Amino acid sequence: VGLVSGTTGVGGGIMLAPLVLSMGWVETRQASAVSAMFNLTNSAAALAGVWATKPALPDSLPWWLAAVGLGAALGSWVGAHYLPDRALKLILAALLLVAGLRMVVI
């Protein structure tokens, strides 16, 4: 997953969810949770790397982090309590389509 996401420039979580679903290792909600935690950990590591090499982070960073945290909490709550598995799979398919188009177009 890391090699493919690194060479394509697409986040690893978007690659991880279809992999674990197609292999039958987890159910849809678990795949969503695993890819969300993968993205969180990967983003935290990237932010730490940037901070280590460029100690002056943007002043707007706390606002962006708050927006990301709020969006993640809201999305997790809606996904866990209200969306059926079919809707989660359709959202994943749409994200994969956008990521694939992004690779071809950009």
User: Tens of pLDDT along the chain (106 residues)?
Assistant: 777 777 777 777 778 888 888 899 988 888 888 888 888 888 888 888 888 898 788 899 899 989 998 998 898 888 888 989 899 889 888 888 887 788 788 7
Q: Which two tokens stand for residue 30?
A: 């678990």
Tell the burial category of 17 from Cβ atoms under 10 Å away from its Cβ (0-12, 13-18, 19+).
Answer: buried
Whole-model pTM? Answer: 0.72
Token duo for residue 94? 């749409």
Place of tokens 């359709």: 90
**Distance between CA atoms of 43 and 37, rounded to whole angstroms?**
10
CB 89 within 8 A of CB 28: yes
